[in-house]
C-alpha cells in the first residue's frame, strides 16, 4: 500500500478500506437493491439518515468498519464491521458482514474476509474474532468455516432481529488459526455461490 492508496490491504480482485461519507449514495442504493437477498438475516442502512447514523457509530473507538471494493471498477461489493472490541487480555471483537446482490456468488466476500482477518490480526493487533450466525443461514456459515473459523457454541435468543430474539451459533477464529500461506481466493470463484455469505452475518 502506498501513501496515496486508499486501500488498507489488497487481494487479487478486491481491496478493503474504511467507510466515508462519500459512500452514502452508493451504499444505500446497493442496500435497497439487495434487500431481497439479505432478508431476513441482514438489514444494512438503506437511507441517508440510517447511513449517517451507521457511519457515526463506526467512529466509536470499539468499532472498525471496512468496505470490500472491486479493483477494476472501485464498486462496493460488500462490507464487514468489527464490533464490541475489547483490548487488554482479551483482544477480541465480533464481526458482522454482508455482500451486495451484484457481487454475490463471485467469491469477492471470501477474498475480502481474508484480507480483513490479516489486517485485524496484524495492524489492528487483535487476537480473536467471533461471528454469530443463525443456524439456518447456511451460506454465512460456509463462508466463515472456509475462512478457518471453528464452531464454539450455541446461544439461544441471542440477538433481536426482524422482530424476534433469534438463536445463533458462535463461530470464532484466533490469530494462531490463520494459515501462514493461503490459496489464492481468486482460484475459488467457480465454487463460491454456496460459500459467499450472500445473506451476511448478523452481529451488529
Count the Cβ atoms, other than its own, within 10 Å of residue 61. 7
What separation in angstroms does the CA of 49 have from each of 32, 55, 160?
14, 10, 21
Q: How far apart are CA 133 and CA 167, in angstroms?
A: 8
- Residue numbers in the chain where pLDDT is lower than 50: 1-4, 183-199, 202-204
Alpha carbon 91 to chain centroid distance? 18
From start to end of 103-188, where are the E strands? 128-133, 150-161, 164-174
pLDDT at position 61 is 92
pLDDT at position 39 is 85
Closest alpha carbon to 113 in 74, 91, 140, 151: 140
Structure confidence by residue, pLDDT tens digits, 173-188: 999 998 775 544 433 4
Q: For the purposes of burial, counting CB atoms within 10 Å of the CB of 125, is it exposed (0-12), middle (13-18) or buried (19 or more)?
A: exposed
Q: How far apart are CA 55 and CA 68, in angstroms?
A: 16
pLDDT at position 104 is 92
Count the Cβ atoms, other than its own, within 10 Å of residue 144. 26
Amino acid at each position: 500500500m502506498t501513501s496515496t492508496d486508499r486501500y488498507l490491504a489488497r487481494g487479487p480482485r478486491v481491496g478493503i478500506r474504511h467507510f466515508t461519507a462519500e459512500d452514502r449514495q452508493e451504499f444505500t442504493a446497493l442496500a435497497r437493491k439487495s434487500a431481497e437477498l439479505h432478508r431476513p438475516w441482514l438489514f444494512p442502512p438503506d437511507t441517508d439518515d440510517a447511513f449517517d447514523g451507521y457511519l457515526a457509530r463506526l467512529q466509536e473507538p470499539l468499532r472498525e468498519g471496512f468496505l470490500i471494493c472491486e479493483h477494476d471498477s472501485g464498486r462496493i461489493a460488500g462490507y464487514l464491521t468489527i464490533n464490541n472490541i475489547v483490548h487488554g487480555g482479551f483482544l477480541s471483537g465480533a464481526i458482522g458482514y454482508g455482500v451486495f446482490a451484484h457481487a454475490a456468488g463471485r467469491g469477492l466476500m471470501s477474498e475480502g474476509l481474508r484480507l480483513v482477518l490479516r489486517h485485524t490480526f496484524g495492524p489492528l493487533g487483535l487476537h480473536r474474532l467471533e461471528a454469530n450466525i443463525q443456524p439456518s443461514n447456511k451460506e454465512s456459515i460456509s463462508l466463515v468455516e472456509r475462512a478457518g473459523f471453528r464452531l464454539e457454541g450455541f446461544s439461544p435468543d441471542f440477538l433481536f432481529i426482524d422482530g424476534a430474539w433469534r438463536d445463533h451459533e458462535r463461530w470464532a477464529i484466533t490469530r494462531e488459526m490463520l494459515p501462514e500461506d493461503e490459496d489464492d481466493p481468486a482460484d475459488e470463484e467457480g465454487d463460491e455461490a454456496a460459500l459467499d455469505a450472500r445473506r451476511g452475518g448478523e452481529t451488529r
